[in-house]
Amino acid sequence: MKSIKLDHCWVCETRFTDANPPGTANREEHHIVPRQAGGSNGPTVSLCDKHHTILHKIAATLNSKKPKPYGHLIADLDPGRQKKVLYLAGVAANAFAQTKDDPNKRRVVVLTMDRETEDLLNRLKACYPKVRSREALVKLALQSLVNRHYQ
């Protein structure tokens, strides 16, 4: 991975105040692997302060035991830009997860779900009222598929 140094935010493309001609966004260089997770000398990407803050909020909730919904934080972005924020958040969350001494280390995989997939999950949920989380439901569905193929 190489550093991505830009005169605008990589996500929203708003020009920075130090660009020529100057824009309105405050420049921040985000460490793609965060410094606290060992990325001090690693690549950076130019972001506006707003999207830098949002990506770290999402990364934090992805790693927390009780993830909070974060869709509203990026609801004003088009899908392509949402993907960029979620990509950076996923990389940061995984870096944090791998450097933590947690016996229940989890890989964070950010899935964007279309309406149809969400409906499928919700229908499945109705059949398994005891399954609490979406993660558990996806695991159950995968297990049943695997069982079918590897008897």
Task: List residues binding Zn ion (CB under 5 A).
Answer: 9, 11-12, 30, 48, 51
Supply 12's token pair.
């929203």
- Residue 27, CB-side half-sphere exposure with 13 Å CA sphere: 16
Work out whether strand 44-48 and strand 27-31 pair parallel, antiparallel, or are unpaired: antiparallel
* 11 vs 95, beta carbon nearer Zn ion: 11
Task: Give dist(CA 88, CA 59) in Å, integer.
Answer: 8
Shortest Å distance, C-beta 149 to Zn ion:
41
* 9 vs 86, beta carbon nearer Zn ion: 9
Shortest Å distance, C-beta 61 to Zn ion:
15
* 50 vs 125, beta carbon nearer Zn ion: 50
Task: Give dist(CA 151, CA 147) in Å, integer.
Answer: 6
Count the Cβ atoms, other than its own, within 10 Å of residue 140.
Answer: 14
Shortest Å distance, C-beta 70 to Zn ion:
16
Shortest Å distance, C-beta 45 to Zn ion:
9
At 34, the amino acid letter reads P
* 40 vs 64, beta carbon nearer Zn ion: 40
